A and B are shown apart, each in its own frame.
Chain A
């Protein structure tokens, strides 16, 4: 079995994996990182979105061996101690979640979106998150949250409160 080295939320793991093992199964079943949920088995829903080397990926559509040597950030690795990431705060502040099942993927995809477009328009958010499905909210509050999170991320990077 291939042996891989992968860093997940700043912890490095060495694992022997079947070549067919999906990254999401590595995270959930092998590493116990259950913050990343599985929503579908068709690559449609985006609930399992994580960052791989700084780019958002659907971890159900990436093989664990493809993450060899890579750095993965999951929803569990965003907060700095008790201090949430601005996008986490924004989702809470704007009521952008109900059942919360899509939320980890939404937040990870949103952070990647903002990386490319620091001040996204409503339409840019809707287009940018089209790979992440939410059944509860109707998206309106999610769009608001992503735009708020983007502003706060920009503020954080500029060093303003």
Chain B
């Protein structure tokens, strides 16, 4: 049971124009060229879809060849001539005062080139935690910095940040005059990667005795952690638009108090603000059903937006463009055998069966994509939400798509190739996608918030349309 949410978009003005990315290899090999990789000689079995159309066709992924053969370039595979390795010794206390650091023992170890401590970087750091200023005022100007993010593994939000360690690696390179490499270990990650969420949610409903909602009031107490990272305070605020779920009501109130603590900061990770909202409103709807003695599906049915209502502007301020929760729910209940399960549940209760049956019901709606919009504008979202793509046709008629986003395993190289193939009328196999290197793709907003296909993909389509509409 899902629904789609869009906003009443008025294209906003892009506010930022600086690159961001993961990893700061000063130079190095670019992303692997798919043409160099072993190809799967298995016959393509994707023949069921409409021959003329790529979008919607169940393609096998073009990313897989390098991944199933072990021939991809992970960030940690990159080696440069003269490269040194960096390791960080972290304070064993989460909250303590450092009075003295003695690096002499480290310096005397064989193979150790240099050892530094916090006071060696004083005055050089500037304002670290936010991504955009890194190139602006900290270490190195934009045009001197090349960021390469080849295949990087999964993301899930954890790779959102430009970390202090990455900036320190740049400072060390400049100090030592040699390339340096730092790969975060999993144990380090457990200490230093931002947390997805940490908030206390208080939700109150006002409803009629027949189950119809009148109002929802939400009060959040959100843990920011010890300092703010890229969008730390924005994550609980994203929920502001979603605590109403898919339901109609007359009034809505949302307040959020962010607090600093001694913990690792929170930031976007797997759903960022929206699953929290779904949990709260759905839990509250269950409570309402319980209090009124109604079936939890029935309470939802009495409140949700019906398909005749769309497009529907919710009390939270978003406009939902389309949906049919009635039909989707009916189908889900039938597939699930809901009535039979409820009957079995009642029987087990009556018989005091030692094995009891619990049945959970939830709707879920998500806003994602995070494109330039009225809502993002109202949040003063500095990153802007735009995306960049360029498309070039080579002398042979083959096509290269350059995108400013960079996938983490979602299969976007395949999806973007399908979009470009349809838009330009070329075979899927004749499209290659270049990404993840600022020397190739000079601007972009990267991958987060389920935006790469819906925003980055539209950028690819728009670039293709410009190409086909330009005079020959």
Contact = CB atoms under 8 A, between A and B. Distances in A.
B40 A89 contact: yes
Interface residues of A, number: 35
Nearest to A94: B60
A95 B67 CA distance: 12
Contacts of A95: 60-61
Nearest to A39: B186
Contacts of B61: 92, 95
Interface centre among B60, B68, B154 (most CB of A within 10 A): B68
Contacts of A103: 67-68
Given A38-B76, A41-B187, A89-B42, A99 B409 contact: yes
Contacts of B408: 99
Given A89-B42, A92-B60, A135 B156 contact: yes
B185 interface: yes
A34 B68 contact: no
Interface string A95-139: 101111101100100000000000000000000000000011000
B154 A76 contact: no
A33 to B, nearest CB: 8
A70 interface: no
Judged by DSSP, the binding face of A is loop
B158 to A, nearest CB: 10
Nearest to B74: A37
A47 to B, nearest CB: 9
A101 B154 contact: yes
A99 B70 contact: no
Interface string B404-420: 00001111000000000
Contact of A100 (B39, B68, B77): B68
A37 to B, nearest CB: 6
A160 interface: no
A41 to B, nearest CB: 5
Interface string A76-87: 101100111000
A35 B409 contact: no
Interface in A45-96: 45, 74-76, 78-79, 82-84, 88-89, 91-93, 95
A100 B72 contact: yes
B42 A97 contact: no
Contact of B68 (A40, A42, A83, A92): A92
Interface in B66-103: 67-72, 74, 76-77
B68 A107 contact: yes
A97 B154 contact: no
A42 B64 contact: no
B153 interface: yes
Interface of B: 38-42, 45, 60-61, 63-65, 67-72, 74, 76-77, 151-156, 185-187, 408-411
Interface of A: 28, 34-42, 45, 74-76, 78-79, 82-84, 88-89, 91-93, 95, 97-101, 103-104, 107, 135-136
